[in-house]
Amino acid sequence: MSSRISEYRVMWILVFFDLPTETKKERKAAGKFRKDLIQDGFTMFQFSIYIRNCPSMENAQMHIRRVKSVIPEYGKVGIICITEKQFDSMELFVGKRISELPVVGHQLELF
């Protein structure tokens, strides 16, 4: 029996960035980029790393296109898409203590 929600089908998008913040214009652009990510359902994982859970690769591609459309003029932005299985294999530490990965609910599909 196959499950509709597979750990190989569910995707995580990771957006990581290094944006300049030396001028008022740069700070405003960096703040807007973060705000745009949050409005599209991303959650801060670390200060310059935001993550989002997607039910499929097709859905992930839509959100990746949205991120690409709001990238600021200056700075570096990286985007990677990984499976739920790969994300679950991550080890997260706070200091020397192992910590739990962020809990994000699965998105329900309505038919």
* Per-residue pLDDT tens digits for 2-51: 455 677 789 999 999 999 999 999 999 999 999 999 999 999 999 999 99
Q: What's the mean pLDDT in 54-67? A: 96
Which of these, 80, 85, 10, lies nearest to 51 by C-alpha position? 80
Domain 11-99 matching CATH 2.40.420.20: the answer reads no
At 100, is the pLDDT very low, low, confident or very high (cuts 50, 70, 90)? confident
CA 37/CA 15 separation, integer angstroms: 9
Residue-level pLDDT at 104: 60
pLDDT at 83: 95
Domain ranges across the chain: 11-99
